[in-house]
Amino acid sequence: MERKAEGTQRKETRWVSTTDLQKILENWAEKGVLVAPTKVNGEVLFQRIRDIREICWDEDYVNSLVPPKEFVLPNEERLLSYRRTDDQNWVVEVCSEENQETILFGVRSCDVAGLAYLDRFLLGEMFSRPDLADPQYKAKREKFILISIVCQKAAPTCMCVCCDGGPALTEGFDWQLTRLTDGWLVEIGSEKGEKLATGFHYLLQPATDEAIKEQKERVATIIRTFDQYSPDERVPTMAAGRMVSRPLLKEEFWSRIGSRCVECGGCAFICPTCFCFNVVDRPLSPSLQEGDANELAFCPLLVGFNGKGADYERVRYRDCCMLQGFVRQAGGIYPRRTTGERCKTRFFHKLSWQFLGRMNRLGCTGCGRCLRTCLGEVGISRVATEMTEALAEKKLAPAGVTAPKREHQRGHPK
C-alpha cells in the first residue's frame, strides 16, 4: 500500500535545538516564503507568515481545519484568459505563475500523505505519464519544501493509524521533525530536504542514538494513545474496503447513510486527498456579469456570444461528489441522482481495492476532518463502522454475506 516514489526514501537524521530551528525559519521567512500554522479566531489555519512569532507550535494543536492542499490546489484558480479581437480570432493567454520556493512548515503526516495522493494523480504518476501532469499544480508543488511534524497527541476524530497516514511516515516529506525532550529529531527524506540541510548545516547536529531511540518511543506512545481513546473499538478500514469493493451492502444501506447528507460539500473541500474540480468560462468585466449578458457570457465559446473586445477567463474551482449535479451529463443523463448513490460512489473511491490498486494507497489518510465537518456524521470512520455493524446485523447485506473479520486493524478513537 505504501507509495515508493523515487528520491523520497529516508536518507539521514539530524538533531536541531528549538532555538536553531527558529533561526532556520526566521532566516527563511526573511528571504523566501514561509507557510505555517497560525491561530485565527481560535482556529488553526496555514498562512504565509513573515514573523515566526505567529507560528502556532505543534504542542498547541492537533491539526488545522483546512488542509494545506489549499496552497497547491486552490479553491478557485484561473487557468487562462482570452479576448475576441474580431469575428475570426481570439487571443488566448495561458496563466503561468512565477512561484517562489516555499517552506510549508508544521504539516501533519496525514496531510503529507494527502499531498502524495494528489501527486499520484495530478503529476501523472498514476499513468506513468509525467508529461500529463497538471501544469498549474506541478508549478506550485515543485516549489514546496515540506517540513512535517510528527503528532504526539490525537484528536478524538483522528484515525491515521488505520489508513497508513501517520502518526509518523517513512516517506513523502522533505524533513520530518519529532519534538524530543531536548530539541528535535530531523529526518531528511528527499533531495530537497538534503539541500535544505546543507544550507543550514551550521545549525544541525548529528543525531545521537539516544535521540533516535526517544523518537521511536514517542511514536510508539502516540500509537498506544489511539487505543486509550477506545480500546475495544477500531475503524475497520480494510473490512469496509472489502465491502465496498465487492460490493456487499444493499442499496438500502446507502439510502440510509445518504439521507443524512445535506449536500454542503464540506467533506470533499476539507479532505486532503479530494481533487475533483469543475471548469467554467466567465467574463472579467464586471459590467458583463449583470442581467441576461451573464447567462450568455458564462460560456461564450460554446454559445457563440459576441464578446468582441471583452476579456474572459477560464477558472477551475473545487467540486464535490456529494453535490447535486456532479457527473450530470449532456442530454440529461444523470447516473447518481440521490445522495445515497453519491455516498456509495464516494466510499468506493475512498476505500475500494480498485482505487487502492490505482492510487497505491487508500483515498483516506485518516485526518478525521470529514467527521469533524459533516452535520450528518457521514465521516469515513463512522460509516466504515456502520458498514460492519450492518453486515453483523445481516439486515442490510444480501443473504449469505457475513461481516469480514477485523484483522490487521490498530486501535482508534470513537
Q: Which residues bind ligand SF4 (CB under 6 A)?
A: 261-267, 270-273, 322, 350, 364-370, 373-376, 378-380
CA 241 to chain centre: 19
User: What cell does 201 get?
Assistant: 548545516
Amino acid in position 179:
R
CA 26/CA 38 separation, integer angstroms: 15
C-alpha cell at 203: 545549525
- Cα–Cα distances (Å) from 264 to 53, 234, 321, 350, in that order, read 35, 28, 11, 19
Name the minimum Å distance from CB 346 to ligand SF4. Answer: 8
**Nearest by Cα to 351 from 404, 277, 395:** 404
331 sits in the region (left: phi over 0; alpha: psi -120 to 50; else beta) called: left
The phi, psi pair for 17, rounded to 5°, reads -75, 160
The DSSP letter of residue 127 is G
Per the CB < 8 A criterion, the answer to whether 107 and 146 are in contact is yes
Alpha-carbon span 189 to 204, nearest angstrom: 15
Nearer to ligand SF4 (CB atom), residue 378 or residue 390: 378
Residue closer to ligand SF4 (CB basis): 14 or 369: 369
Nearest distance, CB of residue 295 and ligand SF4, angstroms: 27
| Smallest separation (angstroms) from ligand SF4 to the CB of 179 | 23
Least separation in angstroms between residue 149's CB and ligand SF4 is 18
Question: What is the length of the chain?
Answer: 414
If the CB atoms of residues 180 and 257 are measured against ligand SF4, the closer one turns out to be: 257
Nearer to ligand SF4, 55 or 122 (CB): 122
- Measured from the CB of residue 165, what is the shortest distance to ligand SF4 in angstroms? 7
Nearer to ligand SF4, 145 or 367 (CB): 367
At which residue does the C-alpha cell 469575428 appear? 87
Q: How far is the CB of 98 from ligand SF4 (least distance, A)?
A: 31
3-state secondary structure of 7: coil
Least spacing, CB of residue 155 vs ligand SF4, in Å: 11
* HEC-encoded secondary structure of 381-413: HHHHHHHHHHHHHCCCCCCCCCCCCCCCCCCCC
Nearer to ligand SF4, 25 or 321 (CB): 321
Largest CA distance in the chain: 74
| CA gap 65, 73 in Å, rounded | 16
Nearer to ligand SF4, 221 or 324 (CB): 324
CB of 159 to ligand SF4, least distance (A): 6
E strands present in 19-166:
33-40, 43-49, 76-84, 90-94, 102-107, 144-149
Q: Give the nearer residue to ligand SF4 in terms of CB position, either 44 or 203.
A: 44
Alpha carbon distance 12, 110 (integer Å):
22
Residue whose CB is less far from ligand SF4, 5 or 323: 323
- Taking the complex as a whole, the smallest distance from the CB of residue 353 to ligand SF4 amounts, in Å, to 17
